[in-house]
Amino acid sequence: MKKGCPVLATNAEKTIPRLDTIRRVRTPEGCELELRLAGGVVRARAWIIDFLLRLLILVGCAFVLSQIGRLGGALLFLLYFLLEWLYPVVFEVLCQGATPGKRFSGLMVLRDDGTSLDWSASVARNFLRAVDFLPFCYAFGLVTMGLNRENKRLGDLLAGTLVVYRQTMTAPKVTDDDRKEEVPPFALSEAEQRALIEYRLRAPGFSRARAGELARLASPLIADLPPDDARDRLIHLGNRLLGRGALAAKTEGSR
């Protein structure tokens, strides 16, 4: 218990926030959104997928267009031009801020304030690829991404856009069917509830010893139970918070 006190003091007084890759955006309504910024490796992966897709389209069309001689060659060049410049713009504006590669990698592009992309922003960020690409294969873009907190390349800086992960973090599924519930001995704060739910969801994945060890840390909730019982107790508390199990069903019915 004594160990805990200085912990809190250091946390509260710390001026530098802990390192994370989240950008918090406050909407006019006062909601706080957490945008999970995407970094270089995923974005490079998304780009490679897009690149291969474009290559595939181009090769496919080359086969067809080669049948009509020199006109086909001209058309192929036009197609190449359009693919190179308009492919990302069109997809980002019309398909919820994601080219196929970005969609596959779970990414999307948003504006700095978390609103969706419009034509001008998309055109700005994608046409500046020409500069990001210099002097060789996005070297400037990569360096720029390293130099600012939000992993923006030059195009993103110009257009005021962010590349973020599309999905909110999915919680692991509960696979066991322990549905017993217990009522917590005191009102839990939001953070405590979150921690309990998190424990409930992930405890089956921990080793038995670790799960017990963790449960023992929640001493106000488990009093002096041995580790295994403590674990079960926390799982039951978590069940209640998650609203799964017989007790929840009963109270629902009585209402």
Query: Under the rule (CB under 8 A), what is the footprint of other proteins?
Result: 1, 3-5, 7-14, 16-22, 24, 26, 32, 36-42, 44-45, 105-106, 134-140, 142-143, 145-146, 149, 151, 165, 169, 189, 191-192, 194-195, 198-199, 202-203, 205-206, 210-211, 214, 217-221
- Cβ proximity to other proteins: between 73 and 226 the closer is 226
d(CA 220, CA 216): 9
State how far the Cα of 79 lies from the Cα of 62, in Å rounded to an integer: 10
Shortest distance (Å) from residue 41 CB to other proteins: 5
> Whole-number minimum distance, CB 67 to other proteins, in Å?
36
Running DSSP on this structure, what letter comes out for residue 35? E
Cβ atoms of residues 110 and 161 within 8 Å: yes
- The Cα–Cα gap between 198 and 210 comes to 15
Tell me whether residue 191 is exposed, middle or buried, using C-beta atoms within 10 angstroms of its C-beta: 0 to 12, 13 to 18, 19 or more.
exposed
Are 180 and 236 contacting, i.e. CB atoms less than 8 angstroms apart?
A: yes
Question: Is 36 or 244 the residue whose CB approaches other proteins more closely?
Answer: 36
3-state DSSP call for residue 246? helix
Residue with Cβ nearer other proteins (89 or 214): 214
**157: Cα within 13 Å, side-chain hemisphere:** 17
Question: Minimal distance in Å, beta carbon 123 to other proteins?
Answer: 25
Residue 173 CB, nearest distance to other proteins (Å)?
Answer: 14
CA 107 – CA 173 distance, rounded (Å): 23
As measured in angstroms, the least distance from the Cβ of 39 to other proteins is 3
- Which CB, 71 or 183, lies closer to other proteins? 183
| Residue 107 CB, nearest approach to other proteins (Å) | 9
Of 89 and 156, the one with the shorter C-beta distance to other proteins is: 156
Nearer to other proteins among residue 174 and residue 214 (C-beta): 214
